[in-house]
């Protein structure tokens, strides 16, 4: 077996038998902040520095419906590029040109339908949402603004009957368990979804 060296609880030195690939998201990057849900989560969000580039907000292993008392993210983070919110009952999430002008990736799972959420980020490249039963406008408004979007992934997107993609940079659209969807419209893409490979199927329109 490969052996590792270094202090047991530090993040310096060799901690793996093989070098980590550059794209391995388990590595600790500069300006990455990972927060775990708890009584002090709101205080930790309020204390975030403006130099935060990657923000991960995750569950402590449970899931508690908090309603209006849940944590709120509506903070100016001018260089934030990636946001992951996983299994946390947020009360508010506001992301836009003023607060998060450089946001490129958003991954969300189990955000409650009562969450006051708005995602209006024109530089967004990647968006993933699993289990969303809230207002359909939240997702559609995001698509209207995210004209550079390349990847869209959803699981049990139960509110939207229609999805219309505004950009022409799409490379991947994954719709899992989208029983409520009747129509998906996308512009002919400059990426793999467009050109000669573009196909029009029932309920999917390329324009």
Could you read off the pLDDT of 40-95 as tens digits, one per residue?
999 999 999 999 999 999 998 877 777 678 999 999 999 999 999 999 999 999 99
* Residue at 14 is within a domain: no
Q: What is the pTM of this model?
A: 0.80
* Residue at 161 is within a domain: yes
Could you read off the pLDDT of 98-130 as tens digits, one per residue?
999 999 999 999 999 999 999 999 999 999 999
Q: Is the pLDDT of residue 26 over 90?
A: no
Q: What total number of domains does the chain contain? A: 1
Instruction: Give the list of residues 6+ apart from residue 102 with CB closer than 8 angstroms, or none.
Output: 78, 79, 80, 81, 123
Q: For residue 22, what pLDDT band results from cuts at 50, 70 and 90?
A: low
Measure the CA–CA gap between 119 and 122, rounded to whole angstroms: 9
Percent of the chain exceeding pLDDT 90 equals 59
Q: Please give the residue range of the domain that contains residue 169.
A: 131-207
- Indicate left, alpha or beta for 174 from its phi (over 0: left) and psi (-120 to 50: alpha): beta
Beta carbons within 10 angstroms of residue 157's beta carbon: 22
Measure the CA–CA gap between 129 and 142, rounded to whole angstroms: 12
* Residue at 135 is within a domain: yes
* Residue at 191 is within a domain: yes
pLDDT for 202 equals: 40
* Residue at 44 is within a domain: no
* Residue at 205 is within a domain: yes
* Residue at 55 is within a domain: no
pLDDT for 187 equals: 76
Residue 186, H or E segment: strand 183-186
* Residue at 137 is within a domain: yes
């Amino acid at each position: 077996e490969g052996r590792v060296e270094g202090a047991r609880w530090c993040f310096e030195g060799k901690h793996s038998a093989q070098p980590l690939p550059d794209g391995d998201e388990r590595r600790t990057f500069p300006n990455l902040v990972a927060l775990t849900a708890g009584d002090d989560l709101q205080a930790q969000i309020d204390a975030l520095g403006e130099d935060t580039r990657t923000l991960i907000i995750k569950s402590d292993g449970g899931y508690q419906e908090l309603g209006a008392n849940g944590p709120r993210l509506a903070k100016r983070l001018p260089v934030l590029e990636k946001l992951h919110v996983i299994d946390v009952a947020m009360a508010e999430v506001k992301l836009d040109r003023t607060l998060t002008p450089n946001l490129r990736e958003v991954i969300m799972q189990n955000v409650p339908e009562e969450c006051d959420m708005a995602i209006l980020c024109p530089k967004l490249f990647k968006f993933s949402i699993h289990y969303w039963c809230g207002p359909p406008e939240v997702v559609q408004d995001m698509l209207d603004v995210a004209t550079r979007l390349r990847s869209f992934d959803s699981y049990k997107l139960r509110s939207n009957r229609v999805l219309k993609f505004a950009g022409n940079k799409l490379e991947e659209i994954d719709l899992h368990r989208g029983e409520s969807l009747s129509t998906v419209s996308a512009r002919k893409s400059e990426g793999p979804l467009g050109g000669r490979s573009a196909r029009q199927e029932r309920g999917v329109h390329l324009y």
